[in-house]
Chain A
Amino acid sequence: MLEIKNLHAEVDGKPILRGIDLVVRPGETHAIMGPNGSGKSTLSHVLAGREGYTVTGGSVTFNGKPLLELEPEERAGEGVFLAFQYPLEIPGGNNGYMLKAALNGIRAYRGEKELSAVDFLKLVKARVKAVGLDESLLNRPVNEGFSGGEKKRNEVFQMSVLEPRLAILDETDSGLDIDALKAVAEGVNALRDDTRSFIVVTHYQRLLDYIVPDYVHVLSKGRIIKSGGKELALELEARGYDWLTSEAA
């Protein structure tokens, strides 16, 4: 599904990603861990198409398409979703309205018919309940005045409506208390199935207690220096990153 080959990227001439190789197959959940500044967020952003990064080498294919050549909205159309570490506020912009535009944008990209207002409402009302948020969320401005936990749950809610093929969670656990963390994890787990893949970017093992990954990769200085099963995360939790980074050096 997703194949990253020898990906290099830099910001303002400074190399951040220095040869990433990663294959994600349908239905798999990969955790990407690593110390601060290892390039985790950059990887998420490059995959979603944020401006400001220069890809200097390598390739990314998504379902056979060269992902890096697509605009962010086209990537969404292909089924890529990024749950933001810091979801943005759109003052005055209505949450439900935004989601409808997003969903219909994606449907239009796929050559599908727009969803009618009635069908849309039915869909979002069911999904908003599923992630344990109040229906009034739909009429609130996008993320404006939301608590940190609400913002993250709103990301998961958006994901549940847009039904991506690949969801990238960028430090979704940061700033969450344990209850909010569980709620977010439950929302994510409800979306896991044989066809949908996840890349979970996180500092801490904690989140992976709830979203159990199939693979764990350790990123350091822009390279994956170790890959393993879910037990690798536990080992990292116990031993820190130092033994790996010094091993790799």
Chain B
Amino acid sequence: MASNAQDIEKIVDRQYAAGFFTEIDQDTVPPGLDADTIRLISAKKNEPAWMLDWRLKAFARFQQMREPNWAHVSYPPIDLQAISYYSAPKSDKDRPQSLDEVDPKLLETYEKLGIPLEEQKMLAGVAVDAVFDSVSVHTTFRDKLAEAGVIFCSFSEAVQEHPELIQKYLGSVVPVTDNYYAALNSAVFTDGSFVYIPKNTRCPMELSTYFRINAMNTGQFERTLVIADEGSYVSYLEGCTAPMRDENQLHAAVVELVALQDAEIKYSTVQNWYPGDEEGRGGIYNFVTKRGDCRGARSKISWTQVETGSAITWKYPSCVLKGENSVGEFYSVALTNNLQQADTGTKMVHLGRGTRSTIVSKGISAGRSQNAYRGLVRIAPGAEGARNYTQCDSLLLGDRSAAHTFPYIECRNPSAQVEHEASTSKISDDQLFYLRSRGIGQEDAVNMIVNGFCKEVFKELPMEFAVEAQKLLGISLEGAVG
């Protein structure tokens, strides 16, 4: 990688010699993964050489790595050579031409979530004439953000427009060597989001999915980088409550957050990828690496997630608490139904003095699903006076689902305080009968109990998101009891 600013500028200014690849005039590259695939992706995106170089280095490391197998999930081997690593958005003739061609069950769900018709079409991948994205709204947002000096754009755009920031921060939280899927992502990622909040700036609005809705087809290897400069604040929402279908089964995203001194990042996710049918066929594998770096003193990173989708989820949004008195938080609801498998949790790595972390994890298992919480709390020798509080609750529905808890605590500083509370409970027939005898139908009664169980996490979500998340849980649990 280039070592100083002058070199970088030179490289950025130089057009990448992409001519060799331009003869491939198609929107989807043939399946397969090798260095040429990566060159092709980079060329398609017209990337500067340093970016390609970075990808290739990641790929070299990736080739020496093995797929991890410690997670409490099982799935058939994934053939990475069978995947196509670059495809432009589907052309209209390949898409369903109207909602009539879409799975009625999916439409039913959209209906229940109260999603407007145009948006339903978009989510279901139906060809639409009018671009859904409302241009005027979009522009207003952009103006407002620009006024505040906030950069919010696609990752590809950021590579072109803000190379100095990308070069400085990309891979600085999740190194390419971090894990198998992170290395793969680093080599082949196609797009994602980039956020930069300047010093002492409070981002004037929640940065949400709706805003970047036209960046939705970022593909299976998404890359997100959020940087909160000193004294700044941002709340970022990703995901969508509507079940999203995708042709790609394997999703391996990487999200990196950097909070400098006195900065705060609040990152909320609602994930509802297609979980597969009742037999678990066709669901998404969601193998994600999310990590936040509390680099500066008194910085704070807070993860809130509501996970109901995907056939397999493998995800541990983590915080590295480097700065003195920095704070990490993780609030999670993970719901699995039918044959879904989730192995999810967090890592709180306390390096700085006086660092604090809170973990509240709520796992709900229904159907024949497997739901595991896996969490690491590591207190390094230098983390004088560090504190962690972990609360990990599991709720079981029916008698064929399973909940597992794998807490790891490594404490190397005697002044630290680490607390861990865990509980496992079942929705009791008596609770259900109590609510039903009041006139509440069975499914509503189950929802009420589940929502009560998740309350501590929901209250961390931005208001509108919380309402949607509650509805979503209800829909995801349909048919789980009775």
Residues of chain A having any CB pair with chain B under 8 Å: 48-52, 71-73, 75-77, 81-82, 84, 87-94, 97-99, 101-103, 105-106, 109, 141-142, 158, 162
Q: How far is the CB of A87 from chain B (nearest CB, A)?
A: 7
User: Is B433 within 8 A of A101, CB to CB?
Assistant: no
A50, A72, A82, A158: residue with the most chain B Cβ atoms closer than 10 Å: A72
How far, in angstroms, from A102 to B452 measured CA to CA in the complex? 16
How far, in angstroms, from A94 to B454 measured CA to CA in the complex? 12
Hey, what's the 0/1 contact readout for B440-453 against A, CB within 8 Å counting as 1? 11101000110111
Across chains A and B, the number of contacting residue pairs, with CB separation under 8 Å, is: 83
Given contacts A88-B430, A93-B449, contact A48 B439 (CB under 8 A): no
Which of chain A's residues have a CB closer than 8 A to the CB of B435? 90, 98, 102
Q: How far is the CB of A140 from chain B (nearest CB, A)?
A: 12
Which of chain B's residues have a CB closer than 8 A to the CB of A102? 435, 438-440
Q: How far is the CB of A154 from chain B (nearest CB, A)?
A: 12
User: Is B437 within 8 A of A92, CB to CB?
Assistant: no
B408 on interface, CB distance cutoff 8 Å: no
Which of chain A's residues have a CB closer than 8 A to the CB of B452? 90-94, 141-142
User: Is B438 within 8 A of A98, CB to CB?
Assistant: yes
User: Is B439 within 8 A of A73, CB to CB?
Assistant: yes
User: Is B429 within 8 A of A52, CB to CB?
Assistant: yes
User: Is A109 within 8 A of B437, CB to CB?
Assistant: no
Given contacts A90-B449, A90-B452, A98-B448, contact A103 B439 (CB under 8 A): yes
B45 on interface, CB distance cutoff 8 Å: no
- Chain B's closest residue to A77 (CB) is B439
User: Is B438 within 8 A of A162, CB to CB?
Assistant: yes
CB within 8 Å of A: which B144-200 residues: none
User: Is B429 within 8 A of A73, CB to CB?
Assistant: no
Interface size on B, residues (CB 8 A): 23
Which of chain A's residues have a CB closer than 8 A to the CB of B72? none
B434 on interface, CB distance cutoff 8 Å: yes
- Chain A's closest residue to B459 (CB) is A92
Q: How far is the CB of B248 from chain A (nearest CB, A)?
A: 36
Which of chain B's residues have a CB closer than 8 A to the CB of A105? 438-441, 444
- Chain A's closest residue to B445 (CB) is A73
User: Is B438 within 8 A of A92, CB to CB?
Assistant: no
How far, in angstroms, from A94 to B453 measured CA to CA in the complex? 11
- Chain B's closest residue to A144 (CB) is B452
Sample of 24 A–B contacts (CB below 8 Å):
A50-B433, A50-B437, A51-B433, A52-B429, A71-B442, A72-B436, A73-B437, A73-B438, A76-B436, A77-B439, A84-B434, A90-B435, A90-B448, A90-B449, A92-B452, A98-B438, A98-B448, A101-B448, A102-B440, A103-B439, A105-B438, A105-B439, A142-B452, A162-B438
Q: How far is the CB of B467 from chain A (nearest CB, A)?
A: 13
Q: How far is the CB of A155 from chain B (nearest CB, A)?
A: 10
How far, in angstroms, from A57 to B349 measured CA to CA in the complex? 65
User: Is B451 within 8 A of A73, CB to CB?
Assistant: no
Partner of A87, one of B428, B434, B440, B444: B434
Partner of B451, one of A72, A92, A103, A162: A92
CB within 8 Å of A: which B403-433 residues: 428-431, 433
Q: How far is the CB of B19 from chain A (nearest CB, A)?
A: 61
A52, A102, A158: residue with the most chain B Cβ atoms closer than 10 Å: A102
Which of chain A's residues have a CB closer than 8 A to the CB of B429? 51-52
User: Is A73 within 8 A of B449, CB to CB?
Assistant: no
How far, in angstroms, from A142 to B451 measured CA to CA in the complex? 13
Besides the known contacts A48-B437, A51-B433, A97-B448, 17 further A-B residue pairs in the complex with CB atoms under 8 A apart: A49-B433, A50-B437, A72-B436, A73-B441, A81-B437, A88-B430, A88-B431, A89-B431, A90-B431, A91-B453, A92-B453, A93-B452, A98-B435, A98-B440, A98-B448, A105-B439, A106-B439
Which of chain B's residues have a CB closer than 8 A to the CB of A88? 428, 430-431, 434
B119 on interface, CB distance cutoff 8 Å: no
User: Is A73 within 8 A of B440, CB to CB?
Assistant: yes
Which of chain A's residues have a CB closer than 8 A to the CB of B451? 92-93
How far, in angstroms, from A94 to B452 measured CA to CA in the complex? 7
User: Is B448 within 8 A of A72, CB to CB?
Assistant: no
User: Is B437 within 8 A of A75, CB to CB?
Assistant: yes
Which of chain A's residues have a CB closer than 8 A to the CB of B437? 48-50, 72-73, 75-76, 81-82
User: Is B454 within 8 A of A109, CB to CB?
Assistant: no
Which of chain A's residues have a CB closer than 8 A to the CB of B460? none
B429, B430, B433, B453: residue with the most chain A Cβ atoms closer than 10 Å: B433
